[in-house]
Structures are given as C-alpha cells and as structure tokens.
Structure 1
Amino acid sequence: MSGVLVRLACTAAVAAQAVLAPVPAVAEPAPRSVSQLLTDLQRLYRQAEQATETYNATAERLQRQQAEVARLDGELARARLALQGSRGDAGRLARQQYQGSSDFSAYLRLLLARDPQHALDEGHVIGRLSRERAETMARLTGTERKRDELARAARRALDARLTLAGRQRKQRDDVRARLADVERLLATLTPEQLGAVARLERTSVAEAQRGLTASGALGDDRPPSGGGDRAVRYALDQVGKPYRWGAQGPDSFDCSGLTSRAWQQAGTPIPRTSQEQWARLKRVPLRELRPGDLVVYFPEATHVAMYVGDGEVVQAPRPGEKVEVSPLASYPVLGAVRPDGAAAQAPATEAR
C-alpha cells in the first residue's frame, strides 16, 4: 500500500459511483451517525497502525538476522581455511613420522651415544617436535569442531531468517487487508459525511487538548537538549511528506519511521517501532516534556509522535495523511519517553 491520499481516492470513487445506478434488492442498512462513523474509522486506522508496527518489528528482526547469517557465513569460511592449513600441517608431520619410522628410539640413542650430552640435547629437540605434533593434532581437532559448530549455527540462523521472512510476508498482507477495510468504509461515505466526520474529529481533539491543559498534566516547556533540537528540526523539515506504512524516509514515513529517523539524524539511534521506543527508552512525565521527547499513544503503544513545544507534536498521523504539526492530544496519550536519557529501569506511571 503506497502513501496515496486515501480520502481523495475514495471521494473520486464516490463520484464515480454516483453515475452508476445499481439499486440492490435488499433493504438498506440503517444509517450510522457521524459519531459512529468516526469511531469505526478510528478503530480501523488503529488496527492498521498496530499491524504496521508489528510488521516493522519483524522487518527490524529480519535485518538483524540477515546480518547474523552474513557474520556466521564469514566465520565459517575462515574456519574452513584454517582447517585446510591444519590438515596441511598434520599431513606434513605424518610424512615426517613415516620417513623417520626406522630411527632408533631416543632412549636407545642415548645408551649408544658416544657423547651422552649431545644425545640428551637431541632428545630435547625430539621432545619439542613431539609436542609440536601433539599441538598440531589438537589444533586440527579443535578447528574441525569449530567448523562443525559454526556450520550448525549458520544453518540455524538461515532457518530463522527464512521463518522471519515468511512471517513478514504474512504481516504485510495483514497490513494491506486492514488498509483495504479503511478504504471500503471511506468509499461508502458521501463528501458531506466525510466533512462531518473530519469536523467532529477536530472538535474532539480540541476538547481533549483543553482537558489535558486544564488538568495541569502539561508543564512549562523545558529547553531541548542539543540532540533533541536537531531531531525536532529534522522532523519539522519533513512536514508535508506523505504517510506510508513501513517507511523511514526520506520521501515518506510512518509514525515510528519519522521519530526513529529524526533521532538517528540527530546522532542518537533509537528502536524502530513505537512499542520498542516505549519499552526501552527513559520515561518522563508529561509535565517535564522538552522538545525532542516522544509522546506514545494507545494502551498498546501503537502510535508515536515527537513533542515540539507549546503543547504540540509533529507526527506522521495515518494512511492518507501527511506529516504535520498537531495538538499533543490528537490520540489517547499513554505516556512520554526521552531518547537521549538513560534507559528505563522500571515502568513509570502512565499518563492518561
């Protein structure tokens, strides 16, 4: 699914349907209220975004697994080369032993030697060569064992990569199915209904923002860190670019793709998905927000935006929309995290 504007496409579809005249023989369903339409749309969008973040998490694990497969393949190749060298050393020693198999033993040479001290010195050399042979054989055995272990590990890593790739394909199909559900619902709405839903949504967000401000949950803005300032400037530069699920820029973004890319550009890599950002970054109260902090939404942490100050966030909202600056209370707030703070040691109290 690309970042096309779903609403525009659906408006066109409605217009096209207007020139057609199929009248179903079944009874028309009862019309839904604007409030119910908004609820249904928000539910579908939320399901689509949750599926997107699941897909993103698998994509990140697949990328790491591909790197692990490459690393193990490299180690296995080096182990095979080392094994060839060890086998060459062992063969050389075997030939030497065969060629010297008719020699007297070191003990017999000592008894028959005219110069016992010289014979003892020779015995020392023979002992050293014997130890070298033992070390060569031990190295050969160890290299063979390492080769076998690496081969098994590489096989397991490849199997895991294939499993993740299959899971990713299924999750991709799930995202597409969720977005198709959104499109089907939008296609049933008239332009008047779409306008009414949009107005109701703006009113609901404004009321939620006023309630959040009146509750005292938001404090005075704190100055951003150097990294936070760079992340905010990068995110704001993306305003107007389309939302596209699974995208991390530079031409389009999904919600966590925008926040992770902005902080990467600021010099602080953070987890890719909103759930991992919520789980692994330091949590901060809303009243202590500073620009660059991330605001996480919904109980499942399936949406994320970046705080820019004055009670506003920059975010990639959802399919069909563009990166925009909007009120912090655009969605139900779960809490906030700070990318350039220490990792969270224990869950903080969630802000609602």
Structure 2
Amino acid sequence: MYRRHCGAAAITLVCALAVLAAPAQAFAAPAPPGPAGSDASATAAGSGGKTLEEVRAEIDELYLKAGAATDAYNLAEEKAKKQSGELVELTQAIAEGQAKIADLKSRAGAQAREQYRNAGLPPGAQLMLSGDPQLFLDGISRARQGQQAAKGLLGQLTRSQEDLETYTKDANTNWTKLEANRVKQAKAKKKINAQIAAAKKLESRLEKEERARLLKMEQEEANRAQTSWLGSGALKEINREASPLGKQAVAFATAQIGKPYVWGAEGPKSYDCSGLTSQAWAAAGRPIPRTSQEQWRLLPHIEIKDMRPGDLIIYHADATHVGMYVGDGRIIHAPRPGRDVTLAGAGSMQILGVVRPDA
C-alpha cells in the first residue's frame, strides 16, 4: 500500500479540497463532481488525457471486475474439489463392484460344474430318487435350499451389475462436470489476471505524488461513505454481543490483520475476502460456503439492526465482496489486490445485506 502524504501544507490543502469534492467510487454513495482546476480534475500523468478522478474510477472498476471473477474462480474450484472427491469414491465403488461380480460369477460357475458332475442333477435331486424315505425328505429340503441359493445368487449378480452401471454412469457425469469447472476456472483466472494487470498498469503510469493523492482520495471517499451511513442512524439499535462462536471467528479474523490480499487465497499467509471469512468461521467450528455469493445465497439473512459481531456483511449488487462485522460500525476484510487485511467502516461500501453463519 502506498502510505505517503503530501509534504507541503499548500498541497495538502488542495488535496483535501479535491477529495471532498471528488465523485464517489463505483461502490460508494454518489457525490458531486470536483470543481474545475482541482487536483481530481487535473489531467493525470500518462493517462491519455484522463483526470485523476477518472483514473481512480477506472481502477476501482477493474478491481471490482477482478473481485467478481475471483468469486467465479473460487466457486468453480470448490465444485471441482467436490467432484474430484466423488470421482474417487465412485472409482472405489466400481472396483468393489467388479470384484463382487467376479466372486458371484465364480460361485455361479461352481454350482454349474457341480450339477454337471452329477449328470445335471443337484445332490438334493439325487437323494430324492433314492428308496430311503428319510433321504427323500432330506432331498426335498436340500433341493429347496439349492434353488433358493441359486435364485439369491442370480439376484445378487443382477443387482451388482445394475449398481456397477449406475456407478459408471455417475462417474462419467462427474468427469464431464469436473472438466467443465476446470474450463470455468481457467477462464476466470485469465480474466482476474487481466483486470489486475490493467489496474496496476494504470497506477504505475502515475507520478508518486499522484499515487499518494489517489490513495488519499480512496480513503477520504470511504470515510465519507462511512460518515453518511452512521449519520443515517444505522447503528442506533446495533448493540448485541457476539455469540461464543462469533467471538472465536472475530478473534481469528483479527489475528489476520496486516496479511496481504491474494485472490483465491485461504490462508494462512494471505487471503481474499471470502477466504478470510470462511476460514474464520471454520476456525470457530462452523464451516460455511467458500464464496461471498454462496455465503449470501445459503446463509440466513438478518436485518442490519439485528447485526452482531461475527456476522458477515455482503457488499455490491452482485454479492462479490464480504467483510466480518466486529462491532462499533467496523468490519475486518481483505479489500483487494495491493491491500492488506484491515479494519474498515462497515458502511464504506454499498451494503447488499447481512448473513449470520451461526443463526
């Protein structure tokens, strides 16, 4: 992260005026455009005639798109992991089914050979032809037992063959899905890298002083959105304590502050936004979906006024960002590439809603 400030007081004053007057990021509350002649309206170095504010908006949009692609990548990866596991189980079931069928065929063959050695008659039938009444009765019983055994053997063989066909069909289906998700992963990865590279290229063209102003504008815009959110009375009724599991999740997330954002990462050295929240709740003993979109889709929704530490706030209309509420109107989140896991205002981005993993 760039953490430099403008040195001269005059430049600082101009920057502050420019930030206060600058339009919002794509994910924040709207604001009026900066006045002509402000730093935000001045042409940025190496930007092809764009203002610093236009460059900032373009960078924000690129990172938002990278975030959406990251969610798609993570979802495809989770599905691929699940299908790989199912394929392993099906492969084992197929091997066991083949061994069972081989055993049943061997036993059926043994019965057939026994009948052949006895002129085509089972031992029970031969006893039935004897002149001894007791042997005759024993023969009837053995014949019935032999018939039932043969019938049971054929039934097992038929069922095993049907099971094997089902396992094979399921394995083929899972393999097709696995390959499809691998293709989705590859496309998402390509898109992520392209968006991040484009954003970094835009930033690299700026002068050091412009990059410092860019960071300051970003921070000021987030603060302005947070102030507006707090001013709306959003926190008036939010005074609930975290649940025991929520406290564990918050403790885990807090311990990750300062670690870098890396897309697709789930720790322990780096995280993306949903990698952080999913690992925090896994550490608390409550596994949750891997992606922010799946967290929004599958976890119980609650009202903002009912929010408590440990709950997850989902951001943006497409649910492509998530942070963990930790109290006092703040979240811990992994913002984007080039930033570290940090504390931020819960209202500094556009809130879609809140979910509770341990509802």
CA distance in 1, matches of 2:90, 2:353: 40
Q: 3-state DSSP class of the match of 1:245? A: coil
CA apart distance, 1:301: 0.3
Partner of 1:202: 219
CA-to-aligned-CA distance 1:126-149 (integer Å, 9 cap, x gap): 121122112112222222222222
Q: Percent identity?
A: 34
Bigger shift: residues 160-169 or 83-92: 160-169
Match of 2:68 among 41, 50, 60: 50
Partner of 1:246: 264
Instruction: Name stretches of at least 5 consecutive residues in structure 1 with no aligned partner.
Output: 9-27, 342-352
Partner of 2:100: 82
Partner of 2:147: 130
CA-to-aligned-CA distance 1:77-123 (integer Å, 9 cap, x gap): 1111111110111111011111112559978975x654435313311
CA distance in 2, matches of 1:318, 1:106: 80
Distance 1:104 1:252, change over 3 A: closer
Instruction: Please state if 1:319 is matched with 2:337.
Output: yes
CA distance in 1, matches of 2:48, 2:183: 41
Partner of 1:335: 353
CA-to-aligned-CA distance 1:269-321 (integer Å, 9 cap, x gap): 00000000111111112222111011111000000000111111001000001
CA distance in 2, matches of 1:340, 1:85: 49
Instruction: Name stretches of at least 5 consecutive residues in structure 2 with no aligned partner.
Output: 4-45
Could you tell me which amino acid in structure 1 is paired with residue 96 of structure 2? R
Asked if 1 retains the 8 angstrom alpha-carbon contact of 2:316 and 2:351, the reply is: yes
Q: 1:167-178 residue pairs with structure 2 within 5 A?
A: 167-178=184-195
Partner of 2:283: 265
Partner of 1:164: 181
Instruction: Please state if 1:230 is matched with 2:248.
Output: yes
Partner of 1:21: none
Q: 3-state DSSP class of the match of 1:329? A: coil
Asked if 1 retains the 8 angstrom alpha-carbon contact of 2:334 and 2:340, the reply is: yes
Could you tell me which amino acid in structure 1 is paired with residue 86 of structure 2? E
Instruction: Please state if 1:216 is matched with 2:233.
Output: yes
Q: 3-state DSSP class of the match of 2:347? A: helix
Could you tell me which amino acid in structure 2 is paired with residue 163 of structure 1? A
Distance 1:200 1:108, change over 3 A: closer
Which TM-score applies when normalising by structure 1? 0.84
CA apart distance, 1:156: 2.3
Asked if 1 retains the 8 angstrom alpha-carbon contact of 2:127 and 2:138, the reply is: no
Match of 1:34 among 52, 64, 74: 52
Moved over 4 A (4+): 102-110
Bigger shift: residues 304-313 or 93-102: 93-102
CA apart distance, 1:247: 0.1
Asked if 1 retains the 8 angstrom alpha-carbon contact of 2:125 and 2:143, the reply is: no
CA-to-aligned-CA distance 1:25-53 (integer Å, 9 cap, x gap): xxx87632332222112111101111111
Asked if 2 retains the 8 angstrom alpha-carbon contact of 1:90 and 1:140, the reply is: no
Distance 1:252 1:30, change over 3 A: closer
CA distance in 1, matches of 2:179, 2:135: 65
Q: 1:144-163 residue pairs with structure 2 within 5 A?
A: 144-163=161-180
CA apart distance, 1:253: 0.2
Distance 1:261 1:153, change over 3 A: same
Which TM-score applies when normalising by structure 2? 0.83
CA distance in 2, matches of 1:74, 1:108: 44
CA distance in 2, matches of 1:152, 1:236: 47
Asked if 1 retains the 8 angstrom alpha-carbon contact of 2:76 and 2:185, the reply is: yes
Partner of 2:19: none
CA distance in 1, matches of 2:296, 2:143: 67
Q: 3-state DSSP class of the match of 1:325? A: strand
Asked if 1 retains the 8 angstrom alpha-carbon contact of 2:224 and 2:348, the reply is: no
CA distance in 2, matches of 1:189, 1:164: 38
CA-to-aligned-CA distance 1:236-287 (integer Å, 9 cap, x gap): 1001100000000000000000000000001000000000011111111222
Asked if 1 retains the 8 angstrom alpha-carbon contact of 2:47 and 2:202, the reply is: no
Instruction: Please state if 1:67 is matched with 2:74.
Output: no
Aligned residue pairs: how many? Answer: 316
Could you tell me which amino acid in structure 2 is paired with residue 154 of structure 1? A
Q: 3-state DSSP class of the match of 1:152? A: helix
Instruction: Please state if 1:292 is matched with 2:296.
Output: no
CA distance in 1, matches of 2:333, 2:312: 10
